[in-house]
Amino acid sequence: MAKKSAELPAIATAGDVARMAKVSQSAVSRAFTPGASVAPDTRKRILEAAEAVGYQPDMIARSLMSGRSNIVGVGVGNIVNPFLSATLDLLTIKLAEVGLRLLLFSTDDSSITQVPAREVLQYRLDAMVLLASALSDELAGHCARARVPVILYNRQAQAGAPVSSVSGDNITGGRSLAAFLCASGHSRFAFISGIAASLASQQRGSSFGAYVSEQGHAPPIVECGFHTYEGAAAAARQLLLRADRPDAIFCANDMMALAAIDVARSEFGLAVGRDISIVGFDDIAMARWPSFSLTTYAQSTARLVEETVAIIQSVRGGAEPIQTIIPGTLVVRNSARTPKVASWT
């Protein structure tokens, strides 16, 4: 309240509280430990004393003894992607609900999260989650040595890798979108991929391509959009300049689809949803904005995050790595032509 300068009372320790409540420091510790054995009224007395001096157990000291920090590390390459920022937002909230804090790692290299691998070791992290970014061997090694469980988000683990993963259903998604587009009568397909290293992008693209081929169409032309707006805009430009211009473009994520729509409309004068169909993957908030009205394969951020938190909890308890796939759903809007009959279900 008032403007005190340097004569603030020193921050209280368990010892201070013990003295006030006339108990041992151990008792104070127990009073703040969920299942510990303390007599109801000594605990009460202790908590009152703590309240009086504003005591809070020091997490740092607590971590030193317990060996865990109650902090989970999160590595993100491209927070600016709304799908990831929405995830980060929700993840922070959900982790807080179970008493976990989130330490954020980032990188200016958008291709692969080069999480400063050694840092991870130094914080006794309860877990490390990689948001839609690749796990370098170095980081994997460090985490293994430090016994920090790794969780891949929006990306499946390599078969046999000792890491957990929570992923959307890329295969079904790619096929659903392809089926929808085929049913709408398209015949010249293109795929704007994410970065080459992204398994999710690969899965989306190849399942899409597989379906299209099964239907007897030429395989999709592929351009790389690097998971970014700018990258995808360039890719779309390439595609639309071709003599054999595609009439349906699938983008490995929504952000890229928005770029493709913008380019098709503003640079080529195409009516998206009539002259050309463009679809994405994720269902970010912008997908439903009237300027885009994007047909896409929706992933539930809520479910992905919930699952992630659940996995963190169980692997913290020593469980084996868990690998899950969360189903998505096709969301039909207006950026792609709609089939005459509902044969594409």
Contacts of residues 88-93 at CB distance under 8 Å and 24 or more positions apart, as own/partner, are 88/131, 90/301, 90/302, 90/305, 91/129, 91/305, 91/308, 91/309
* Cβ neighbours around 214 below 10 Å, total: 12
Residues that bind DNA (CB under 7 A): 13-15, 22-27, 29-30, 32-33, 37-39, 42-43, 55-58, 61-62, 64-67
302 binds its own copies (CB under 8 A): no
* Strand 189-193 to 323-326 pairing: unpaired
According to DSSP, residue 272 is labeled B
Q: Which is nearer to its own copies, 289 or 319 (CB)?
A: 289
221 binds its own copies (CB under 8 A): no
From the CB of 60, what's the least distance to DNA, in Å? 7
13 binds its own copies (CB under 8 A): no
Q: Which residues contact 15 (CB under 8 A, 6 or more apart)?
A: 25, 28
Q: Which is nearer to its own copies, 1 or 341 (CB)?
A: 1
Show the tokens assigned to 141: 């090694």
Site for its own copies in 46-65 (CB under 8 A): 54, 56-61, 63-64
262 binds its own copies (CB under 8 A): yes
Q: Report how far apart the first and last C-alpha atoms of the chain are (Å, whole number).
A: 63
Q: Which is nearer to its own copies, 268 or 344 (CB)?
A: 268
Q: Which is nearer to its own copies, 146 or 222 (CB)?
A: 146
Q: Which is nearer to DNA, 38 or 139 (CB)?
A: 38
316 binds its own copies (CB under 8 A): no
User: H or E stretch including 167?
Assistant: strand 164-168
* Residue 242 binding: pick among DNA, its own copies, none (C-beta 5-8 Å cut-off by kind): none
